[in-house]
Structure 1
Amino acid sequence: MQNIVILAGTIRQAPETRTTRTGTDVTRFKLVTARPRYSEGRIVRDENGYRVEDAEWHRVVAFNGLGRTIRQYCESGMKVLVRGRIHYTKWQDADGNDRYGCEIVAETVDFLSRTPQTDSDDEDEGRFIDEDDISS
């Protein structure tokens, strides 16, 4: 059996990189994914007709070259596709209590949007065009 996870979401924390004592670069960021809320088999909508979504937060970790690329090119608000595996951790806190966690170890990260352009004269330059943005 394989431990495979694929997540498409939005980075909601700027990636941070630290180097271990052995020289391994470890980059971490938080990714949020959303899915529509269902009730009785139907999508729940708010009073304005917009669908209600539930958000899930994921801790993502990447090592060495992939981590350096993420740190260099990714920032909060970017959309990415992460392929990797689920990793469960266990540690003891300062009081000696067992703590548990879950993180996604990234093997590949595909950029689904570009870094926001702040000093651009053309507003649409570098903008990711979503299917919903295309009018028929």
Structure 2
Amino acid sequence: MLNRIILIGRLTADPELRYTPTGTAVASFTLAVDRPRANQQGERETDFINIVVWQKLGELCAQYLKKGRLAAVEGRLQIRSYENKEGQRVRVAEVVADNVRFLDRGDSTGGGGFEGSGAGFGGGFGGNQGFGGNNNKRGSNFDDDPFVDDGKPIDISDDDLPF
């Protein structure tokens, strides 16, 4: 069985950071993700997907992500239900993030590119390693990536491609 989600979108608001009674950090935010095809009227539709990020990675998201920032999220889909104030049962779908990658430069942070693993934050942050890596480098930013914001096409011959 497999339950993996990878999303790229923009935050609709600043992340909300809370702590459980035992002191575990949990951040939540909504990611606006465009659908790949236009509807019958020729307009692009957007899905608004709730994201939950635990522990140190949640604190980093709350610190560095802001409304409008572009982010990639990798995690699992979780469906949960609760009873609202009116006594009605409500079902909620959300993505519990294992990795979050900040894809653009924030005006106030001067950098980006933090990535982490939600399992005890074992993945470190600051990677140019992409999803799924266990990157323990610290302090890296987009300046380490030779392909960020270059604006020029990459000249690669077909012979150099592995596929």
| TM-score range normalised by the length of the shorter chain | 0.7 to 0.9
Rounded Cα–Cα distance in structure 2 between residues aligned with 1:29 and 1:76: 9
Rounded Cα–Cα distance in structure 2 between residues aligned with 1:112 and 1:68: 17
**Would the aligned equivalents of 2:76 and 2:97 in 1 still touch at CA under 8 Å?**
yes
Partner residue in 2 for 1:103: 94
Partner residue in 1 for 2:15: 15
Structure 2 unaligned spans of 5+: 110-142, 154-163
Partner residue in 2 for 1:73: 64
Length, aligned pairs only: 115
Partner residue in 1 for 2:105: 114
| Aligned residue identity for 2:81 | K
Q: TM-score, normalised by structure 2?
A: 0.64
The alignment-based identity, stated in percent, is 30
RCO greater where, 1 or 2, for CA within 8 Å and sep 6 or more? 1
| Aligned residue identity for 2:67 | S
Q: Secondary structure at the match of 2:58?
A: helix
**Would the aligned equivalents of 2:70 and 2:102 in 1 still touch at CA under 8 Å?**
yes
Shift of 1:22: 1.3
Rounded Cα–Cα distance in structure 1 between residues aligned with 2:12 and 2:33: 10
1:92 aligns with 2:93: no
Shift of 1:31: 0.3
Rounded Cα–Cα distance in structure 1 between residues aligned with 2:26 and 2:38: 34
Structure 1 unaligned spans of 5+: 46-51, 119-125
| Aligned residue identity for 1:26 | V
Deviations 1:77-124 (A, max 9, x none): 110110000011111112221111111100000111011259xxxxxx
Matches within 5 A, 1:27-106: 27-35=27-35, 36-39=37-40, 45=42, 52-106=43-97
Shift of 1:10: 0.5
Rounded Cα–Cα distance in structure 1 between residues aligned with 2:85 and 2:11: 30
Structure number having the greater strand percentage:
1
Rounded Cα–Cα distance in structure 2 between residues aligned with 1:66 and 1:78: 16
Rounded Cα–Cα distance in structure 1 between residues aligned with 2:150 and 2:87: 48
Q: TM-score, normalised by structure 1?
A: 0.75
